[in-house]
Amino acid sequence: MDLRLRAGKSPRPVELPHIGGIDAAGDVEAVGANVTEIAPGTRVVIDPTVKTPKGNLVMGVNFYGGFAEYLKVPATNVVPIPDEVSYDDASTLPICYITAWYGLYDRGGLENGE
């Protein structure tokens, strides 16, 4: 997706200036005052789809992404990863499950319980 965005071939236009990077993993630097489920120093992968009242936004498309030095995302988009999983490996997981979800639910019409 990042390559398609840079080549101008994505169906989702981006506003410039733009920082891409849909897939990201790293260490939590800081958390908001009301965040209790994750702590600074935790190794995480980021779910790039952020739900808003106006619909889903995608990190690296609709707002700055993983190529930035720091990211600010909702705590619900942060998933801890074990020490045995590299950041490179962890960062490949979101695109896999998003693609599967899209195929099964959005395109395939899969319903709960099937």
Give the alpha-carbon dihedral of 6, 19, 14, 30, to 10 degrees: 140
Domain boundaries, the chain: 2-107
Give the Cα separation of 59 and 66 in Å (integer).
8
Reported pTM: 0.77
At the fourth CATH level, which superfamily is domain 2-107? Medium-chain alcohol dehydrogenases, catalytic domain (3.90.180.10)
Using 50, 70 and 90 to split pLDDT, how confident is the model at 15?
confident
Judge whether residue 1 has pLDDT over 70. no
Render pLDDT for 60-90 as a digit per residue (tens, 0 to 9). 888 889 999 999 999 999 999 999 999 999 9
Give whichever of 24-38, 61-75, 87-101 has the largest mean pLDDT. 24-38
Instruction: Please state, in angstroms and rounded to a whole number, the distance separating the CA atoms of residues 72 and 86.
Output: 21
In Å, how far from its chain's centre is CA 69? 15
